[in-house]
Structure 1
Amino acid sequence: MSISNLTSKVIGDIGDKRRWWQYKARAKQLPANYRTAIEACERYLMYFGSGGGVSLFEDLVDLFEQSAADRTPIREIVGEDPVEFIEAFARNYQEESWINRERERLISAIENAAGEGGKGRAVR
């Protein structure tokens, strides 16, 4: 899958594409070290398959813009484990993600196969 196809899959329709480019313009305006950090987070989220749509990135740039304005050090934003930070951040946006739909589909299929008739367990 090409990066443009991946981007389209992550950001969605035309309205979302406009919001995406607005996010990119805002991120580009950040001071260099904050821009480097947000670009690294973005790259990870693209490969991680965040599924949070554009609102995830908009909120992320909001955080970095406010942090830059307050001169908050990068480590105070992301902590000692940037992977833990960005995955926790992204979890707040995964309600509609494809992985959650697939988890629910897997749970239902196994419950049906086991003769349990879909107990309706919560998706993890």
Structure 2
Amino acid sequence: MAAKWIELVTGSLEQKKQYKQYKRRIETLPEPYGSAAKALQRYLMYYGGITTDGDTTLKMFGDFADLWERAAADGTPVRAIVGEDPVEFAETFAEAYSGTRWIDKERARLTKAIEDAERGEQK
């Protein structure tokens, strides 16, 4: 009973556990993969490509960790992964995981506010 109440307030405890596992995977990457993955992760968080759906976000982060772990194991150069434009790589990577993003909610809210204001003008 308490767990359901806590999850109502904080979100899924299982998702939080999975996110912590993902973070550990990134933290344990050897260099230079760890630094590159952390930089890209930071960009992804600020870019806003993160969805509001926890399952989709966790899938993206899991795939992201898989990518860097495989690259480290194979000795793939960082540039071979991200290419010449790391920003383009990060944004393309994020866009591959569809779902409702935070900005989508704000776009809808803004559109509704303008429509409501417009209706108020027409009275």
TM-score under structure 2 length normalisation: 0.70
- Residue 23 (structure 1) aligns with: 22
1:77 aligned partner, one-letter code: I
Q: Which residue of 2 aligns with 1:35?
A: 34
Unaligned runs of 5+ in 2: 1-10, 52-56, 119-123
Matches within 5 A, 1:1-124: 13-52=12-51, 53-103=57-107
8 Å Cα contact 1:94-1:100 kept in structure 2: no
% identity of equivalent residues: 50
Question: Which whole-Å CA distance do the structure 2 matches of 1:75 and 1:108 have between them?
Answer: 43
| TM-score of the aligned structures, taking structure 1 as reference length | 0.69
Structure with higher RCO (Cα < 8 A, 6+ apart): 2
Flag structure 1 segments of 5+ consecutive residues without an equivalent: 1-11, 115-124
* Structure with max Cα Rg: 2
RMSD: 2.3
